[in-house]
Structure 1
Amino acid sequence: MDSAAFLLLAFVNAVTLLQVWGTDNVTALYGEVIVIPCNGGAPAPADLMFVKWKYEKDDGTRGDLLIKQVSSVQATVQATDQYAQRVSIDANFSLLISQATLKDQKTFTCMVVSGSNLIEYPVSVLVYKIPSSVQIMDKSKVLQKDKPTMVGTCVAANANPATTFTWKKNGKPLLADGKAVVISSSIKLDPATGLSTTSSTLQYAASKEDFAAVFVCVSTHKLTNQEEELGPFPIYYPSEKVSLEIMSKGPIVEGDNVTLKCHADGNPPPSSFFFHIKGQKMPVVNSDNYTLTNISREAGGEYKCSLADNEKMEASQSIAVSYLDLSLTSSGKVVKALGDTFHVTIEKNASGDPEVSWTKNGKAMEGVKKLQFSKLTYADAGVYVCEVSMTSLTRRQSFELVVEGKPMITSLTKDRADDADSKVLTCEAEGVPEPNFQWSVNSTGVKSSHTNSKVTHKITVTPSVNLTVTCRVSNKLGEDTMTINVSSVFKEKTDKRDSQEDSEDQAKLIVGVVVGLLVAAAIVGLIYWLYMKNSRQGSWKTGEKELGTSEESTKLEDNNHAV
């Protein structure tokens, strides 16, 4: 009997001993090798004859795969269909199927034939396929307020079993209610591979508070879970309120440029408006402002703006224009006479109550609101500025007051010059216009100074005789004169010198007289001594004639008596 017949006989005889165990489950990965253990991988019986693998076809019939005899090294492949090139067996009698597909999801049976028994171990195979990708499709850029808007579609392609999806907003699950939350799911099978592509679409009716919301698509599979994030999204909604803003940092002043800005709370903000300017409707496109240039006082009043696509949505604001006019009854150069009465009237036109102040020659005139002079003096002359201010408005007007008067000499003095040979005459006068000076004498070293209405004029003279000098001042309004006596500087010198010489001569005369008297006394004494000597000798008694004449004798006697 050949081996095939023997096997067949053994198989037939063993039929009466057939046992079938419960079905086990094996999970395999798509495209990988399916490993199906025989009897859960338990050791084979000691009297094992052979192991045979078979499977159940789609039509319910049995299909043989391979047989492995204990006495044979190689297994014999019996399959003639798709498994012919894909099946093999390992040392533990586990069935190996390469390149797993979903068509391999069926029951495979391991039949163990021993000398004493025949047992079958069925195994059910499941083939899992992780999604090849999880993607967000049709992602929206914006959401609409109170209107279901596409958020996005989550797609998991080529999976087995099919992927399921859930949606979350800010970490919390979203439940479909058919109004604010609408979730649509679908599954498509690839007829060639049997793999499933699952998609889930979320529509959401947003509120204004959802501007920062983050949506998450969660894909769930037997072998893996993934999350894909969407958002945040801008929330679009129509305008519910319009406001008009006057773009001005302070009070509006006549002549300013004033910008009106129209604002609506819609998103995106409206780009077109109507500005209602004094009865005229001015369209503005791609802008939200309108500028009034060089605004006038007549432009004050109510202004409006509205949406270009909904004029019922409008807002209004009132504009008050500040203005200030100032004029004085005097301007430019004002000439008045000394002692005149002078009043300046302020004429102003303002939108409020302005403050008035005055300055004279740049210095504030404290407490002065009205400029009034009952009797003008030279000190009242100057440049006057009237300033009127209100809020951010200031106006100024000025004039120059000139007080004119006939010149008047206030003093005429004389002083000795530094060289002591000349005299300086100083004539001081007051008057406007500035007076001219004339002197009645020729002079040198003329000096003049002028301060406001006061004028000083100095001359230097060297008079050789006593003089009466006249200072004359004049302007277009009149003249004034004053005189002064000036003595000769030479006579003063001579008088002084003669007085000194007389004193010296008197001293010399006194000394000379004393010396002369002493000499005369000596001479007389000598003559007297000689006379007495001769008298003792008796010259007179002898009758001798004297040498002198009678006149000389007489003189001699007179001299003696004089002494």
Structure 2
Amino acid sequence: MGSSSYLLGVFITAMFLQASSSSIPTIVGLYGETIEVPCNNGLVQSDDLMFTKWKYAKDDGTHGDLLVKQAHKEEATIQATDGYKARVSISANFSLLITKATLDDQRVFTCMLVWGTNVEEYPVEVEVRKSPLPPQIKDKAKELENGKLTKLGECAANDANPAADITWTKDGQTLVSDDKTILIIQKVTKDPSTGLSSTSSVLQYTAGKGDVGSQFICVATQEGATQASAPEIFTIHYPTEKVSLQVINKGPIKEGDDITLKCHADGSPPPTSFNFYLKDKKVPVMDNDTLTLPSVTRQSAGEYKCSLLDDESKQDSQDIDVHYLDLSVSPSGTVQKNQGDSLEVTVETNTSGVPQVSWTKDNEKLDKEPRFGPLSYQDAGLYVLEVSVAGIKKSHSFELDVQGKPTIKQLTEKASSDGNSKVLICEADGSPQPEVQWSINGTNEKSSYNQGQVIHRITVVPSKNLTVLCTVTNSLGEDSRAIYVPSVIVEEVPEGDRSTGNDQAKLIVGIVVGLILAAAIVGLIYWLYMKNSRQGSWKTREKEMGTSEEEKKLENHKPEV
């Protein structure tokens, strides 16, 4: 028997075989892609296998042949004569490959395996799936009217298998049709050429003021998978119910500021023209919701209003305060006063509120308002008054100069640190700054002047007891005072005697102290002698100390012992 006759007998025999399994396995392919239909779940024993044949169930219940792959040939023989002829092939594991899958491929495909006289068949049912195109909202409403049921739009999810289901959401919440304020109508159509289904859903919605800015989305769902459209926001028309007036300025309003008023209405779309009332003067403003008042004054304070252009009953008002500050201070500039005088300072303010007042003297803040009398040298300085209210600041300054004739407060002498010289210190008050003069020449002369006080130092080495005069002078007068200055005795100790110890040192100190006491006694006797000579009828021209000029000054000053 020829091979063709043998195959024919096998085919006739296979027609009478029935599938023993109670159910047929199902695989899912994707529309337009290649479907791989496995033979016996991919478990094919190729030993002694003569050939493999694939066939399919036609719509009329008969079978159509697709291809045959004989074991001893590399290529399969295509037997299909319909649309499958160019779309089918067989893989190395005997699976059927169907390219460019369509919905017509949703049928049963059977794999037949032949070993000698044994024939086995493995049917597989194929389903083809296709996700819908991304849903889109079309035929969108240009605007929604408050309280009116309006078609918001139509959502379409096209070319799917199976057909998608469409739902609508607003701000993430699913909308449900109630046949009153929300009405949703959905329908499904099938393309006769492709068999794909398209779903459309029309939403009619009753909008309110609370829907301003809300996002509407349509969602396509197919076997658990979802796709969402781009969100849509709709303009909602509703009449104005409330008008509000705002003052745009930040912080308190001061004289000279510009005031900007803004009128706002809650209608949609918002009105663009308003009436502004400037202290009962009506000013219509077209196509603008703001009005600026330049350089306001304190007279600008009062009530301001705005209203709708076509309905003045809908209005709002604001009271505007304009802050101001007037400051008048006397004296000003430079003020000269004598020590002990009083200075009257007058401060007058006119403000829109309670002012904050502060004083500084020579750039240092004072804890309280200064009092000027009786004046001292310490009161001299630059005074600045600063007054502020609601962000307005004004200041006034004057320079106080306290003058007085010089007065010596203290005249002292002290030994230098090495004991070889004397430091004389003359301290005096006076303004303008006094000039200090001594009746003796000195070294290391130092002087300081602060707040009317002058301190002058000199270093002297008197070889004998002296009465030294300090004189301070300025344009208003002078003052003098004398001080007794004992001589400084410096004992030279021979080099070889410096090791004699403490006894010799004590002896030298005793001698110095004795000489100082002797000089003091002599000075006292001389003073008594001079006093008696002035009171008696005799005088002497001999002097132990000073010059004739110094003698004249000393006649008016008693030496300090």
TM-score, structure 2 length as denominator? 0.51
Correspondence list, 1:182-331, <5 A: 203-211=204-212, 212=214, 214=216, 233-238=233-238, 239-256=240-257, 258-270=259-271, 275-277=276-278, 279=281, 281=283, 283=285, 285=287, 288-292=289-293, 295-307=296-308, 313-331=314-332
| Conserved 8 A contact 1:464-1:489 | yes
Q: Which residue of the partner structure matches residue 177 of structure 2?
A: 174
| Conserved 8 A contact 2:383-2:400 | yes
Correspondence list, 1:432-447, <5 A: 432-447=431-446
| Conserved 8 A contact 1:146-1:205 | yes
Compute the displacement of 1:184 (Å).
Answer: 9.6
Compute the displacement of 1:456 (Å).
Answer: 1.4
Q: Which residue of the partner structure matches residue 450 of structure 1?
A: 449
| Letter paired with 2:403 | E
Higher helix fraction: Structure 1 or Structure 2? 1
Structure 2 CA distance for partners of 1:375 and 1:175, relative to 1, 3 Å: closer
| Conserved 8 A contact 1:383-1:399 | yes
Question: Per the alignment, in what secondary structure is the counterpart of residue 210 of structure 2?
Answer: helix
| Letter paired with 1:233 | I
What CA distance in whole angstroms lies between the structure 2 residues aligned with 1:197 and 1:427? 115
| Letter paired with 1:430 | D
What CA distance in whole angstroms lies between the structure 2 residues aligned with 1:420 and 1:263? 92
| Conserved 8 A contact 1:425-1:458 | yes
What CA distance in whole angstroms lies between the structure 2 residues aligned with 1:198 and 1:460? 116
Correspondence list, 1:315-394, <5 A: 315-361=316-362, 365-366=366-367, 368-369=368-369, 371-394=370-393
- Deviation string, structure 1 residues 222-266 (Cα, Å, up to 9, x no partner): xxxx99979653342243222112235543334555443332223
Structure 2 CA distance for partners of 1:415 and 1:321, relative to 1, 3 Å: same
Q: CA RMSD in A?
A: 5.4
| Conserved 8 A contact 1:465-1:491 | no
| Conserved 8 A contact 1:464-1:491 | no
- Deviation string, structure 1 residues 70-98 (Cα, Å, up to 9, x no partner): xxxxxxxxxxxxxxxxxxxxxxxxxxxxx
Question: Per the alignment, in what secondary structure is the counterpart of residue 298 of structure 1?
Answer: helix
- Deviation string, structure 1 residues 168-201 (Cα, Å, up to 9, x no partner): 9864553656xx67899999999x9xxx999886
Greater gyration radius: 1
Compute the displacement of 1:281 (Å).
Answer: 3.0
Q: Is residue 404 from structure 1 mapped to residue 403 from structure 2 by the alignment? A: yes
Question: Per the alignment, in what secondary structure is the counterpart of residue 140 of structure 2?
Answer: coil
Unaligned runs of 5+ in 2: 1-56, 63-129, 493-506, 515-561
- Deviation string, structure 1 residues 351-384 (Cα, Å, up to 9, x no partner): 1232444444555554x45x44342122322333
Unaligned runs of 5+ in 1: 1-32, 39-129, 220-225, 504-563
Question: Per the alignment, in what secondary structure is the counterpart of residue 342 of structure 1?
Answer: coil
| Letter paired with 2:437 | Q
Structure 2 CA distance for partners of 1:404 and 1:135, relative to 1, 3 Å: closer
- Deviation string, structure 1 residues 385-427 (Cα, Å, up to 9, x no partner): 3343445444443333221111011222333445655433322
Question: Per the alignment, in what secondary structure is the counterpart of residue 374 of structure 2?
Answer: coil
Question: Per the alignment, in what secondary structure is the counterpart of residue 373 of structure 1?
Answer: coil
Q: Which residue of the partner structure matches residue 471 of structure 2?
A: 472
Structure 2 CA distance for partners of 1:247 and 1:197, relative to 1, 3 Å: closer
Structure 2 CA distance for partners of 1:334 and 1:280, relative to 1, 3 Å: farther
Structure 2 CA distance for partners of 1:271 and 1:488, relative to 1, 3 Å: same
| Letter paired with 1:237 | H
Compute the displacement of 1:336 (Å).
Answer: 0.9
Question: Per the alignment, in what secondary structure is the counterpart of residue 207 of structure 2?
Answer: coil
| Letter paired with 1:174 | S
What CA distance in whole angstroms lies between the structure 2 residues aligned with 1:227 and 1:155? 12
What CA distance in whole angstroms lies between the structure 2 residues aligned with 1:397 and 1:217? 74
| Conserved 8 A contact 1:167-1:218 | no
| Letter paired with 1:281 | V
Q: Which residue of the partner structure matches residue 152 of structure 2?
A: 151
Q: Which residue of the partner structure matches residue 60 of structure 1?
A: none
| Conserved 8 A contact 1:136-1:154 | yes
| Letter paired with 2:237 | Y
Choose 482-491 or 294-303, whichever is displaced more.
482-491
Structure 2 CA distance for partners of 1:183 and 1:474, relative to 1, 3 Å: same
| Conserved 8 A contact 1:183-1:201 | yes
Question: Per the alignment, in what secondary structure is the counterpart of residue 341 of structure 1?
Answer: coil
| Letter paired with 1:384 | Y
Compute the displacement of 1:326 (Å).
Answer: 2.4
| Conserved 8 A contact 1:388-1:395 | yes
Compute the displacement of 1:333 (Å).
Answer: 2.6
- Percent of aligned positions with the same letter in both sequences? 45
What CA distance in whole angstroms lies between the structure 1 residues aligned with 2:409 and 2:165? 120
TM-score, structure 1 length as denominator? 0.51
Compute the displacement of 1:321 (Å).
Answer: 1.8
| Letter paired with 1:401 | L
| Conserved 8 A contact 1:214-1:229 | no
| Letter paired with 2:177 | L
What CA distance in whole angstroms lies between the structure 1 residues aligned with 2:262 and 2:144? 28
- Deviation string, structure 1 residues 118-160 (Cα, Å, up to 9, x no partner): xxxxxxxxxxxx9x9997541235423234543224679999x
Structure 2 CA distance for partners of 1:280 and 1:460, relative to 1, 3 Å: farther
| Conserved 8 A contact 2:284-2:309 | no
Question: Per the alignment, in what secondary structure is the counterpart of residue 240 of structure 1?
Answer: coil
Structure 2 CA distance for partners of 1:34 and 1:373, relative to 1, 3 Å: same
Structure 2 CA distance for partners of 1:151 and 1:432, relative to 1, 3 Å: same
| Letter paired with 2:427 | E
Compute the displacement of 1:434 (Å).
Answer: 0.8
